[in-house]
Structure 1
């Protein structure tokens, strides 16, 4: 076993300050397979622990420290917090708790006012985004299937271009052939909030799309489209379409189906609609 392997196997708490790691390892004079490294040069310990520290431990500290603040409501409003309360939440000393708060503030994840004994803390946009990233990561890990995602959006009226485009025979023929239904002449548009947009963007690249090829007519050319099978409102089969070129904002999702969805779902402008996308 070389020095790097020995270090990785025996340093149980990479969150410690690099100097503490060196001190602990030397003091304990750890053994492995008959080899000892009590005389390892401090620079080697410091370099290796810095690599571990910068390679992921800092992020673990950030997330572990933000979670109890978020649970107490600091995403929405300023909360009162003492260092003793925060230390109890983290299961650490007050000194460590104060250091964590200082780290979060220096990295722009929180804002705080007052004294350490009684301070007000709120997550910044950056801190809230960190929590959202954690949520979506865990959601994707534990979701029931890697081949589907359910999003929610609010019904909005489109720009009227959808009817023109999907009325083109070059598109309609491909939808009948590849998706098994004839298109109702119009799109059903949903506006996603930030949470659903982030989930949609994180999942859509993992799903398999059905390619709808571009084509030319005598007058102009029409671009290619990605189509994803979907179930709208938990009951009507359709497809989400993503043109390679679009005039829509990123948070607008276009849906096509064989029927007039507003009437079939009995929904109105602004209503929330669930859509499950398959791939």
Structure 2
């Protein structure tokens, strides 16, 4: 299975690169790492985790339950400011909003992302489960394809994020890599961080947006920028590799949706998401 754990939650590259420093009440400084870039921009899931960390500090509850983000302009590696507001606090849930801003060549602030989120205590949830959802059907970890099985096909721009992920894709969803996309709009794979850090609620915000876009399997290669992404964290993930399944049912008017499910090593649905993205040209 996956490599032995090396990094730990709180002491890993992911934690260092999503660190925020409180400058004033509700205001945080951050440094967007170039290590999480793909093609033309900083990965949207990494950015969601960064904002999620700031909100975890600003709100009385520490675990993201639902996070909805609108991506207003492409983020670039370098300094950023996160401004948060507490909208409402309650006994079991608190709601906050946050904006990530960077600076243009004239020193003016440019808003990159705006988020509205609800936080709570995942450890306080009941164990009752009534669901028709089932884990994705895919080959075992050893029979899926990772970086050691051959170099990925070239794409324009950066692929730095791939060095930070332990990603093994279902062979049925990698036809795009050999010029034979399935046309099904599906992507499935085993997911972990390359340094062995186990998943937690904040890293799940990265996981839902870390696989190659389903547009690749539709025969479209290139940047697929997210317009809006909503992630639901359903429970605290167990240690071990995650399984991620993403589907697209409708590409129309130059936009597509992606529905993601994340399952942990105990066969529990730990996160879900839906996003609207621009299809590659």
The TM-score with structure 1 as length reference comes to 0.18
- Structure with more strand by fraction: 2
Structure with max Cα Rg: 1
The TM-score with structure 2 as length reference comes to 0.18
Question: RCO (CA 8 Å, sep 6+): is it higher in 1 or 2?
Answer: 2
- Structure with more helix by fraction: 1
